[in-house]
Structure 1
Amino acid sequence: MDSENINHKALQEVLNALEIDRKKIAETYKTCYILFGLAALILAIGLLISFPMLAFFGALVPLVIGVVMYFQIQDEVKKYKFVYKTNVVSSVLKEINETFSITPQSGLPEYEFISSELFTTEPDRYKTQDLISGTADKTSFWFAEVHAEYKTETQTKNGTKTTWHTIFKGIIFVADFNKNFEVSTVVRPKGVGDAIGAWFSKNVFSFGNSELVHLENTIFDEIFATYSRNQIEARYILTPAMMERILELNKKSEDTISLSFIDSKMYIAFPLSHNYFEAPIHSSLLVPDLLTDDLSIVQFMQDIVHELDLNTRIWGKK
C-alpha cells in the first residue's frame, strides 16, 4: 500500500470517529430545541387558559433542562471542531500544497490589519481565525478569516445605545512581493469611504501626502481608486499587465477586492459572506463533497501567486 492510500485510509478513520461525535452533538442540540419548544408551548397554553403561575413553573422545567444540556455539550463541540480543522482540514490541505499548514486559533494580527492601510476605519472589535500559510515556489504567503467592526453610540431615553457596523468580513491575503517599496500604494474600490458614513471623520487614517493616481487602464480606474505618495512607483507596481491580472482576480471575488503594497508585502482583502473550514453539525461528514467549497477558496488563494506573477523575481529586495 502506497503512502497516498495510507493517508486516505487514516483520514477516513478520523472522519468515521468524528461522525460518531457529530451525531451525538446533533442529537443533543435537537433535544435542546425540542425542550425549548416545549417550554414555549407550555407557557403559551398556560397564559391562554389564565394560569400564569402554572405556565411559568411548567415551562421552567424543560427550559432549565434544555439550557443545562446545551452548555454541557459545548466543550465537546469545541473539541469536535478543533479536531476537524487540525486533522481533517490540515490533511486535505497537504494534497493541494504540502507546505500548507492551518492554525485554527490564530489569524491576522490586528496591528497588521491596520498597517495594511486597506481600510479607512480602525476596528473597535476584531476577530480572526484559521490562519493558513504556505509557499508557492519562492513566494511565501498566508491568509486568514477576519471580521472587523466599528461602533456608533447614540443617546436614547433609556441610556446609550451601541450599534456595531462591519468594516470588513472575509479573507485577508498577504504575500511577500519581493520588493521593498519606498512608499505605500493602496488600491481600493471606488466609493469605499461612503460606506463608513458619519463615523468616517472620527477614525480616518491619514494619507499624508498621498495623491490619487490616474492610470492608463480606464476600466481599472472605473472600479478602483489608487493612492500613493509616489506616482512613479505606483505606476512601476501597477503595470498594464498587473492591472489586467488584478481585474481578472477581482472577477473571481464575491465583491470588489482591495489591495495595498507596503514595505515588502502585498495585501489583498477578499470580502466573503460566510466562514470557511467549519465542521458541519447537522449534516454528515461522510460525503464526497465535504470540503469542496473550502478547498476551492484555498486553491483560489494559492492561484493569486500565479495570477499576479509573484514568482517572477524581476525586482530584488533592496
Structure 2
Amino acid sequence: MGEKSAPNSPASELSSELKELENERVILVAATKKANLIGLGAGICAGAAITYLLDAIFGAAIGALVYTFTAMLITASKRREFRANFKRQIIEKIVKKHGLNYDKDRGLGLDEFFTIYDCTVHQWSSEDLVEGNIDGVSVKFSDFYSAKKVKKKNSTETVVLFRGVLFKADFNKTLSSITQISHVNSRNLAIYGKKANMDDVRFEEIFDVYTTDQIGARYALSPVLMEKFTQLCLRLDAPVNAVLKDSQIFIAVETWRDDFEPQLGKSLTDEATLTAYESEIESFTQIVKELNLNRKIW
C-alpha cells in the first residue's frame, strides 16, 4: 500500500497515524461505493414512479436528487469523522512543524475578504486557520469560500465568487496610502485610487496596480518586491491579489479548490500524497520569506 517512506519524510514521521487513517479511508471508500449502489437503486425507483405518475423529465430530476441525497446521507457521519481525524492527526501536526498554531474550525473573516474584493456575498465560510510568527512576522491564513445567489427565470443559481486562501501579515512600516496589486485575470476586486504604471514589464503583464498615492505606490512596490510577487504568482500557479494598507498586507490566492482537505481517492501511505499536503502548507508559510516581510524594505 504505497511507497516505502524515507527517513525523516512526512510519511515516516506520521507513520502510526497514517496507518490508522489509511484503514479508515479504505473502509470509507468501500462504504461510499455501497452507498452509491443503494442510492442508485433508490433513485431509479423514485424516478420511475414520478415518470409514471407525472413526467419523464421531472422523474429523471427527482431520481437524480434521490440518488445523490441517499448516497451522501448514508456516509455523512463517516465522512465527517474521517475529515476531523485527518485534520487533527495530519494537518495540525504538519502546521506545528512550522512552529504555527492550527484551528480547523476558525478562519479569516469577511473584513479581510472585503479588503481585497468588492462584491455582494450571500454565502461564505472560512476554516483551517493557521496563525503564528514566522521570522518575526505575525501571520494568519485560512481557507475561504464565498458565493452569491443569482435569480434566474425559474430558479436561483449559486455563483462562486472566491475559493482559495486568504493571507494576512504584518510588516514593519505603516503606510499612509493604500496600494493594490491586482491579477489581470481576477474579478470583483476592490479598486483603490487610480491606476499606477510600474517599471517592471514582466510584473505588468501579470498585475495591475492601483493606489491612493502614486508616489507612495512606487515607494512600497520596490523593484525587488515586484519581482517577488511575480515569482510568487508563477510558483503558486494561481491568480494572486494583494492590498498593502496601514501596517498590514492582505493576500488572496485564487486556488479554486477546498484546500487542506483529505482526498479519498489517494492512499495516505503513499509518500507523494503526504508530500503534497506538506508542500501546500509550506507554500503559504514561504510567502513571508519570499516577500521579505521581516525586512524594512517598505
Fold similarity call, TM over 0.5: yes
- Residue of structure 1 equivalent to 2:4: none
| Post-superposition CA distance 1:173-211 (Å, at most 9, x none) | 21111222212211112364xx55xxxxxxx8574xx12
What is the rounded CA distance, in whole Å, between the counterparts of 1:111 and 1:45 in structure 2? 49
Is this contact kept in 1: 2:164–2:259, CA < 8 A?
A: no
Could you tell me which residue of structure 2 aligns to residue 14 of structure 1? 17
Task: State the AA in 2 paired with 1:173.
Answer: F
Flag structure 1 segments of 5+ consecutive residues without an equivalent: 197-203
Alpha-carbon distance between aligned partners in 1 of 2:83 and 2:101, rounded to the nearest angstrom: 16
Question: Partners of 1:263 and 1:47 in 2: how far apart?
Answer: 60
Asked whether the equivalents of residues 35 and 75 of structure 2 are also in contact (C-alpha less than 8 Å), the reply is: no
The equivalent residue for 2:276 is 293
After TM superposition, give the deviation of residue 81 of structure 1 in Å. 0.9
Separation in structure 2 between the aligned mates of residue 90 and residue 100 of structure 1, nearest angstrom = 9
Contact 1:145 1:170 in 2 (8 A): yes
In structure 1, the residue matched to 2:37 is 34
Aligned counterparts of 2:75 and 2:39: Cα–Cα separation in 1: 16
**What code does the residue aligned with 1:303 have?**
Q
- Deviation readout 1:131-151 (Å, 9 max, x if unpaired): 112322111212111122223
**Aligned match of 1:175:** 169
Aligned equivalents of 2:41, 2:122: Cα separation in 1:
39
1:225 matches 2:208? yes
Query: Does the 8 Å contact 2:128/2:143 carry over to 1?
Result: yes
Larger radius of gyration: 1
Over the aligned positions, Cα root-mean-square deviation in angstroms equals 3.3
1:109 maps to 2:109: yes
Q: Deviations over 1:222-273 (max 9, x none)?
A: 3322111112211110011111111111211323311110121111111113
2:149 maps to 1:184:
no
Letter of the 1:27 partner, please give it: A
Structure 2 residue 244 is matched with structure 1 residue 261: yes
Distance in 2 separating the partners of 1:101 and 1:187: 28
Match of 2:79 among 63, 77, 80: 77
Identity %: 24
The alpha-carbon distance between structure 1 residues 8 and 206, as it changes in their structure 2 partners (threshold 3 A), is: closer
Q: Tell me, what secondary structure is at the counterpart of 2:273? A: coil
Say whether the 8 Å CA contact 1:186–1:227 is kept in structure 2: yes
1:87 to 89, 92, 98: 89
Q: In structure 1, what is the Cα distance between the partners aligned to 2:29 and 2:159? A: 32
Question: Can you give the 5+ residue segments of structure 2 that lack an aligned partner in the other structure?
Answer: 1-6
Alpha-carbon separation, structure 1, partners of 2:72 and 2:19: 24
Q: Match of 1:290, SS?
A: helix
Q: How does 1:300-311 map to 2 (within 5 A)?
A: 300-311=283-294
8 Å contact 1:128–1:144 — kept in the other structure?
yes
> Aligned runs of 1:143-292 on 2, under 5 Å?
143-154=141-152, 156=153, 158=154, 161-190=155-184, 192=186, 195=187, 207=192, 210-292=193-275
Contact 1:147/1:168 (8 A) holds in 2: yes
- State the distance in 2 between where 1:287 and 1:167 align: 34
Q: Could you report, residue by residue, the CA deviation over 1:82-120 in whole angstroms, capped at 9, with x for unpaired residues?
A: 12111222112333x1x1222111111112211x2x223
Q: Which range moves more in the overlay, 100-109 or 10-19? A: 10-19
Secondary structure of the residue aligned to 1:186 is: strand
Counterpart residue type for residue 11 of structure 1:
L
SS at match of 1:105: coil
What is the CA distance between 1:10 and its match in structure 2? 7.9
Q: 8 Å contact 2:11–2:271 — kept in the other structure?
A: no
- Matching residue's letter, 1:14: E
Alpha-carbon offset, residue 311 of structure 1: 1.5
Higher relative contact order (CA 8 A, sep 6+): 2
Q: How does 1:44-55 map to 2 (within 5 A)?
A: none
- How many residues align? The count is 281
